[in-house]
Structure 1
Amino acid sequence: MFKRTHKIFLSCFIFVLMSAFVFGYNEAPMLKERVAKGELPSVEERLPDSPKVIKVREKIGKYGGTLNLSKGNEMRALLVEYALESYPNPVFDEKLVEGNIIRSWKVLDEGRKFRFTLREGLKWSDGYPVTTEDVRFTFEDIYSNKNVQQIYPSWLMNSGKRANLNIVDDYTFEISFVNPYGLFLLQLQSIARGSYHMLINPSHYLKQFHASYATEEELEPFLEKEKLTQDRWGELFTRKWQSTPWNQRKDVGYPVLDPFVVVEKPSDNVVIFERNPYYHKVDEEGNQLPYIDRVRYEEINNQEMMNMKIMSGELDFTINTALGDLALYKENEDNGNYNTLLVPIKSINTNACYFPNLTLEDEVWREVMRNPKFRHALSLAIDRDEINELVYYGFGNPTQASDAPGSPFVEPWYRDSYVEYNPEKANEILDSIGLDKRDNDGWRIGPDGNAFTINIEFFEVNENLVPATELVVSYWQAIGIKTNMKVIDGGLWYQRQGANTTTMSVWHEDASRPGSPFFFYVPYENINWGPDWRAWFNSEGTEGEEPPLEVKKLFKLYEDFLATISNEERIELGKEILKSQAENLWVIGTVNNIPIPVIVKKNLKNVVGGMDPQWGPSMAEQYYFE
């Protein structure tokens, strides 16, 4: 009976869906005008053979209006278009993945080969067809050309070998690896890897800046404008190539597959976007998306100025807020005609997370800091309840660093590991591991006879790191550990981190995503607690420092996690990685589940819902003004 009812329902749904399109598609009035003038083909000609049908959040929208935005985070959430999609995002279960730019796919050879099919008839925003030539160009002329990219993308490598690309026809291509790579499919719906440009770029546009296709004479005007010589054409190309998913488009008219395309740059900090007339999505009634005509983006880096624009109603949507100003936002809702929503950032677990450099070239530091009992003591000395109240206004939850809430990889005790505030126990541990002697100032003496010192270096990746770290410094000083903090420039921090010279740093702990799983707990990324171990792993042992057995085990778990095509096995491997974190405290967490105030104009609909407003996908194509 259930199967019969299910079939009837499915047949009715398909009938309703098809009847919506039988009389053709609908489009925005501004596009109808351009079609009437002969500036554009009809909407049926602009859409692919099988447009993606979107189920809207609230209701079918209305065309028109300009969306006013304020900062890069919103651009990242609003304008990133994925090769594949999944909701909720991020996910690690391929059963939730659905087609987008890539219409369909097959996993072959036990996870070693992936066959992808693009949407036939899909077009760039300038009307040029999207084909596998755009994929070939990306692999051969961008990733494999050292003038353009010095390092081949690590996510397209497996067991130290590059992926192999095979073009089947104009719409079908295969990517194969030497060993199984089960996570590859899921990476194509992750913001870290999944923005379509990681696989597909507008070759017809970019070839004019590439020495393999343009002559020296053709390149010369572009090089002159950028003040570059002929031997630096690769630098010209990288300036023209839209290489990151959340940046403003570099040039007006840069061909995209996103819902909006840049049409004007009136100043250095203002960019005007307009609807993409060739956008490939429609709603359930056959209306081509997006609903909104234009987006005005203004880069605002001063929080006081941001707040003024919020309160005056100049912004339609923003996540660039301060939790401490929540009362201010609420008081001015009627004046600014907006609502203030408190939305958890699911992509961030711990907002202030402390990771030591365990490969620092200092023998005293290594002897002390590599002892997990010392890290246990540091964790027990932190009063997370006080941090939550003073820094996060009581909105968070004291926790150990682990994966994000709702993660399938987390056992409850992982979050509780050494998380209680117990300075007495911390002192006992420190005494028991040989740090029982103190100098005249009360600081604990290390193996070299000097005060053992922790210098915390970081840059303000979020506004709460400074007050949280000031408290952490005081807690560690209270148990006799001489501790200092220093805020430095972001560029300098990355440089020092890469050079293995930072001692301890702070970051917000990002949740595991298919594009970057467990990068806080396995030191393979550039933000980590073992830079020289990272170099060893990524160079297959030719660089850096060979890690101890426990860290080697983590690298093996990570490689198996990437390889497996079984979601059940993937979950067990993930749990093992996080169990190691809970036992060793490679990273020390404080407070998690901090919400952010999200400002939404009262007449802006189909917005946010339960999705992460920072890492999306936001599905801005269905936003509309009522």
Structure 2
Amino acid sequence: MRCSLDYLTTLSETLFYIKVDKERCSVSEKSKLSRRRFLQLAAGATSAVALHAPIVNAAPARKPTVQEMTYTEAPELEEMVANGTLPPVAERLPKNPRVVPVRDEIGQYGGTWRRGYSGVSDMQGPAKLIYAFGLHFDISADLETTEIVPGLYDEWTQNEDATEFTFHMREGLRWSDGELFTTRDVQFWYDYYQNGDLGSTREVLNIGDVPMELEVIDDNTFTLRFGAPNPLLPFKIARDDTEGQHGGPTMGAPAHYLGKYIPDHELGDQELIDAAMAEHEVSTWQELFGDGGTPRGPIAWWARNPELPVIHTWMIQDPLPFNDPITMVRNPYFYCVDEEGKQLPYIDRIEHRLFEDASVFDLWVVQGNIDMHERHVAAANFSLYKENEEAGNYRVFLWKGATTSAYHPNTSHDDPVLRELFSNPKFRQAMSIAINRDEINNLIYNGLYEPRQASPVTGSPEFDAEFEQKWTEYDPETAMALLDEIGLEVNDSGTRLRPDGEVLAFRLMHSQQGNQAASDEITLVVDYWNAIGLSVSEDPVERSLYEERVTNNQVDVGYWGFDRSLLLQADPQAYIGGSGQQTYAVRYRQWYDNDPAGVEPPEDHPIRQLRALWEQAATEPDPVERQALMQALIDVHKEAPLAIGTVGEPPAPVIVSNQMRNVPDGIMSDTTLRNVRVANPEQFFFVE
């Protein structure tokens, strides 16, 4: 039967246009780059200014007939085969390899792809280039549709009520060390990650309180059974999780390797475990895999252990702490080929150079030292990139972002006074309308963004035009009146007082000090809030420290993008409690996630409604009924947004070397689609 994901066929035909509506997109005279000039430049940058709707086709896939192919490989691998250190390519590929359609032309092997990264906490950048999923999001050649297509699984079926799914793994899949990837590895993942001491994915895949059941059929086939309908499981698999191949919804882990580090496993080696614990200075074997269910331990995370068998496109050479640059090299057992049977990837290696300031990265771009990059490429610097195309030997493509800049008052704050204020809809409404979004857009983003609320983006099935503009009109007088209604008195210096008589002061924490445009926006927002009598200060920290403080509920108001706003049914976390960086309900989200640090939310807190509606939607097989539940969920946010949006739907410039090919132009860049991963980087290549 067809997966019940047909709600996506109700999307508008086009997803995003760079809008020229005079009222919404007026640009101040002080703007360095006018919207008209931007459109003129963009016309030269892209032939696909309109970005199309992700009308998802996700029919269960029947195993295709295996076609006879003659396989070829990269010259460096040919040499290894010739000297006997690597088996022939036909023995390294599965019986039915995934054929990745090339974007423009069959590629050639070789080259080093030069990129940048901003530190250890920026590892999602390298990660999104390399992951292999059971099922993939894939954009059609005409950019009209996004499909869920076979990945590691070449066949999958489901029953009528979406409680049972059967997956067939490609026969002959191999880990990067040459060992077969079979249902033995799925069983290992199920026993230890899903139900054992390493249970980091059970909340992602399970439905309700009934554990998922696994039945292994044979070496390549397994069935998952659920106690309730799980119609969105294909989405969960296709979106995966950048935490790591052995912690995300890719359902498998290398039992032959990781089993040695588990005491009760048949391969468990206590001497090896003790030595590893001593080397990495941890006190339990579980910490070798990760901390608190997060698979970033020194043994089980690909970024820390180059010996870990993976199924990624490229493999890391240098473990954390990294050298500069980070180098990733091709996986000789990667399971994909192009239409002519050439094993992918085309590119030999990727180098990520470290930068601590965005200006350094921009200098690399204009000097021609970046080959292809979508991350950290600021729309505010579009004119800089365009003006230096010829000198830097690159082109500027234009993607579109499904995100909104957002501020997250912590309604689960440990301070009872701030908790009560941040939980008061009138207080959040006052914070929202105190912000001059047009000024932010014009002064900082050159009029290129959309002033909007933190809400689903244009073209999303959940897009709501009223919600997009709710509580966004700049009105500081009404904002102050709302604070008066709450009963917040003003002292002689014009500063608001808390109900307990202390100055109403809080910090706005962010990790954007390397992003000049975002930093400038944050400074303006602080000024707007101080102008209505609040006492707000900035608290810039490094990203890893920001995330640590979020986890420990040490954030008053956090700044983080409201992303994942395109396919909410695929990834609703921003709307049902926030991610690990969004701070509007930290302790309450943790409570729902069964984190011991969590706190049960009050009966009247909106997160209760949001979670209840999502639980219904996630188990509703009927797409029409499910969409109605999603609209009810959106209505809860609409009344008094928990996250306060400012500007969003940004144009996303992409730097592409004149020597790089098969990079698509005009696509949607969204975390749910794994950003650059949806473009199939394995088929990018260099020409002379």
What TM-score do the two structures reach when normalised by structure 1? Answer: 0.85
Aligned residue in 1 for 2:448? 395
Q: Does 1:359 align with 2:407?
A: no
1:366-388 Cα deviation digits (max 9, x unpaired): 55433323322222221101111
Aligned residue in 1 for 2:75? 29
Aligned residue in 2 for 1:176? 225
Equivalent in 233, 238, 250 of residue 304 of structure 2 = 250
CA distance in 1 between counterparts of 2:323 and 2:528 reads 44
* Deviation of the 1:323 alpha carbon: 4.0
Equivalent in 271, 296, 302 of residue 357 of structure 2 = 302
Cα distance 1:273–1:360, how it changes in 2: closer, same or farther (>3 A)?
A: closer
Aligned residue in 2 for 1:278? 333
Equivalent in 650, 672, 682 of residue 621 of structure 1 = 682
* Deviation of the 1:259 alpha carbon: 1.9
Equivalent in 109, 113, 138 of residue 67 of structure 1 = 113
Contact 1:388 1:591 in 2 (8 A): yes
Contact 2:153 2:167 in 1 (8 A): yes
2:550 partner amino acid: Q
Cα distance 1:43–1:450, how it changes in 2: closer, same or farther (>3 A)?
A: closer
CA distance in 2 between counterparts of 1:168 and 1:523 reads 38
Q: Does 1:317 align with 2:317?
A: no
* Deviation of the 1:540 alpha carbon: 11
2:404 partner amino acid: T
Q: Does 1:103 align with 2:154?
A: yes
Aligned residue in 1 for 2:575? 521
Aligned residue in 1 for 2:214? 165
Unaligned runs of 5+ in 2: 1-63, 118-122
Superposition pairs of residues 420-431 of structure 1, within 5 angstroms: 420-431=473-484
* Corresponding residue SS for 2:521: helix
Contact 1:188 1:194 in 2 (8 A): no
Contact 2:328 2:350 in 1 (8 A): yes
CA distance in 1 between counterparts of 2:296 and 2:606 reads 40
Cα distance 1:610–1:159, how it changes in 2: closer, same or farther (>3 A)?
A: same
| More off after superposition, 551-560 vs 317-326 | 317-326
Largest Rg, 1 or 2: 1
* Corresponding residue SS for 1:509: coil
Superposition pairs of residues 437-476 of structure 1, within 5 angstroms: 437-460=489-512, 463=515, 464-476=517-529
| More off after superposition, 613-622 vs 44-53 | 613-622
* Deviation of the 1:151 alpha carbon: 5.8
Cα distance 1:65–1:173, how it changes in 2: closer, same or farther (>3 A)?
A: same
* Deviation of the 1:553 alpha carbon: 1.7
Contact 1:291 1:622 in 2 (8 A): yes
Superposition pairs of residues 118-137 of structure 1, within 5 angstroms: 118-137=169-188
1:187 partner amino acid: K
2:79 partner amino acid: E
What TM-score do the two structures reach when normalised by structure 2? Answer: 0.78
1:156 partner amino acid: L
Equivalent in 202, 212, 223 of residue 254 of structure 2 = 202
Instruction: Give the aligned CA root-mean-square deviation in angstroms.
Output: 3.4
* Corresponding residue SS for 1:96: strand
* Deviation of the 1:518 alpha carbon: 3.0
* Corresponding residue SS for 1:558: helix
1:317-369 Cα deviation digits (max 9, x unpaired): 223334444443334333331123343223xx212x11212233445445543
Cα distance 1:77–1:612, how it changes in 2: closer, same or farther (>3 A)?
A: farther
Aligned residue in 2 for 1:556? 612
* Deviation of the 1:397 alpha carbon: 0.7
CA distance in 2 between counterparts of 1:552 and 1:241 reads 29
Cα distance 1:383–1:95, how it changes in 2: closer, same or farther (>3 A)?
A: closer
Cα distance 1:522–1:282, how it changes in 2: closer, same or farther (>3 A)?
A: same
CA distance in 2 between counterparts of 1:459 and 1:547 reads 33
Identical amino acids, percent of aligned pairs: 30
* Deviation of the 1:563 alpha carbon: 1.6
Equivalent in 449, 473, 485 of residue 538 of structure 2 = 485
Unaligned runs of 5+ in 1: 1-16
Cα distance 1:34–1:232, how it changes in 2: closer, same or farther (>3 A)?
A: same
* Deviation of the 1:606 alpha carbon: 0.6
* Deviation of the 1:623 alpha carbon: 0.5
Equivalent in 582, 585, 605 of residue 638 of structure 2 = 582
Contact 1:187 1:514 in 2 (8 A): no
Superposition pairs of residues 147-158 of structure 1, within 5 angstroms: 149=198, 153-158=202-207
CA distance in 2 between counterparts of 1:215 and 1:113 reads 36
Equivalent in 259, 281, 284 of residue 232 of structure 1 = 284
* Deviation of the 1:559 alpha carbon: 0.8
* Corresponding residue SS for 1:110: coil
Cα distance 1:561–1:269, how it changes in 2: closer, same or farther (>3 A)?
A: farther
CA distance in 1 between counterparts of 2:539 and 2:280 reads 37
